């Protein structure tokens, strides 16, 4: 690569032979600008000994390979190199799957835990907002931004343990996907419809974004209807269910280490359940955000109890 594009995302430097449009661009002389992870096009992919297979890919002792529809095949090696082989539907740009699944699995290979969660900053601490698709994670973040929170990550949030065992969250992609009416209520530096999105979502880059690349994890808010108390055992189970691509993660080597990290994060982090979204109206979303903020403030303002309810 004679003139690589450089970016920062999830605490890593990236360099590629084409624009990394969904990441923050980085200057050539910025810290980490030389790139910790390289992305480059290849004309063919080598044969590799297979450890396991899934419906879309293969896992190897030194990486993985992911087929993404007819757009491209991604081949990751050693957590440092991602080759891509364009397919018949290649349009010249990395597809959304690169910035989600490929990125998440690469970071997991490098020792992080990726969660299917959004994240905000409050009082210098990160708060994960987790839940299944359709529970209103992003819309809740949009409401919380209007109440003084700052944006950290959307849909994919990466957590890593420090050498001392403390969980930390890394600033993710700068954009978030929102329904059009919700997107219009967010103060943003960029707002545009997502081409081909069947739900008609818009891509928004919020103005209120954290200035920190890394934040200590302060709490987790889980969006679901069950109001049962969150016991210590349930906390671990719930967090495991909200990992990003859990079947893929289970197939990657070093699964036992990720399990230990999950236990450590669950033991150190207050967690509460909160109702999933019921209405998208402006007044309902504002009331939901205020209720969530009250719950979060209670979580980050007290010691972790044996059981936690909102």
Question: Where do the structural domains in the chain lie, given as residue ranges?
Answer: 5-102, 113-300
* pLDDT tens digits for range 62-81: 999 999 999 999 999 999 99
CA-nearest of 112, 92, 95, 78 to 9 is 112
Give the closest residue to 18 by CA, choosing from 38, 4, 28, 30: 4
- The model carries a pTM of 0.92
Top CATH class, 113-300: alpha beta
pLDDT digits (tens, 9 = 90+) for 168-201: 999 999 999 999 999 999 999 999 999 878 888 9
Q: How far is 73 from 211, CA to CA, in rounded Å?
A: 34
In 3D, which of 154, 106, 108, 148 has the Cα closest to residue 128? 154
Give the per-residue pLDDT at 72.
98
CA-CA distance, 84 to 40, in Å (whole number)?
A: 6
**Mean pLDDT, rounded, for 106-134:** 96
Q: pLDDT confidence of 235, banded at 50, 70, 90?
A: confident
- Considering only residues 1 and 115, tell me which one the structure prediction assigns the higher pLDDT: 115
Question: Residue 284 is inside which H or E element, if any?
Answer: helix 282-300
Whether the CA torsion 146, 211, 104, 193 is positive or negative: it is positive
The predicted-structure confidence for 220-233, as pLDDT tens digits, reads as follows 999 987 666 777 78
- Distance CA(68)–CA(113), nearest Å, equals 22
Residue 252 has a CB neighbour count (10 Å cut-off) of: 18
With tokens 């936690």, the residue in question is: 308
pLDDT at 305: 42
Tell me how far apart the alpha carbons of residues 148 and 144 are, in angstroms, rounded to a whole number.
7
Q: Would you place residue 280 in the very low, low, confident or very high pLDDT band (cuts 50, 70, 90)?
A: confident
Reported confidence tier of residue 3, pLDDT bands at 50, 70, 90? low
What does the pLDDT read at residue 118?
Answer: 98
Residue 78: per-residue pLDDT: 96
What does each C-alpha distance from 39 to 8, 57, 67, 83, 107 come to in angstroms?
Answer: 13, 18, 16, 6, 14
């Amino acid at each position: 690569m004679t003139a690589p594009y450089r970016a920062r995302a999830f605490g890593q430097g990236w360099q590629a032979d084409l624009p990394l449009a969904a990441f923050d661009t980085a200057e050539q002389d910025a810290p980490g600008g030389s790139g910790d992870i390289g992305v480059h096009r290849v004309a063919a992919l080598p044969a590799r000994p297979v450890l396991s297979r899934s419906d879309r890919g293969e896992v190897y002792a030194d990486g993985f390979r992911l087929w993404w529809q007819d757009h491209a095949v991604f081949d990751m090696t050693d957590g440092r190199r991602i080759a891509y082989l364009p397919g018949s539907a290649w349009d010249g740009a990395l597809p959304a799957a690169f910035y989600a699944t490929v990125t998440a699995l690469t970071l997991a290979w490098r020792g992080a835990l990726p969660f299917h969660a959004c994240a905000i900053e409050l009082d210098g601490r990160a708060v994960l907002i987790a839940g299944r698709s359709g529970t209103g994670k992003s819309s809740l973040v949009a409401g919380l931004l209007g109440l003084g929170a700052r944006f950290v990550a959307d849909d994919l949030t990466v957590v890593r343990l420090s050498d001392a065992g403390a969980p930390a969250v890394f600033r993710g992609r700068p954009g978030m996907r929102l329904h059009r009416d919700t997107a219009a209520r967010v103060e943003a530096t960029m707002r545009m419809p997502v081409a081909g999105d069947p739900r008609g979502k818009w891509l928004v880059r919020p103005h209120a974004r954290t200035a920190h690349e890394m934040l200590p994890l302060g709490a987790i808010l889980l969006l679901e209807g069950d109001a049962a108390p969150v016991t210590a055992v349930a906390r671990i189970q719930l967090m495991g269910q909200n990992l990003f691509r859990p079947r893929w993660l289970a197939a990657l080597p070093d699964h036992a280490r990720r399990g230990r990290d999950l236990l450590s994060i669950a033991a150190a982090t207050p967690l509460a359940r909160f109702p999933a979204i019921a209405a998208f109206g402006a007044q309902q979303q504002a009331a939901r955000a205020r209720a969530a903020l009250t719950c979060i403030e209670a979580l980050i303002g007290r010691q972790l109890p044996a059981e936690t309810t909102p």
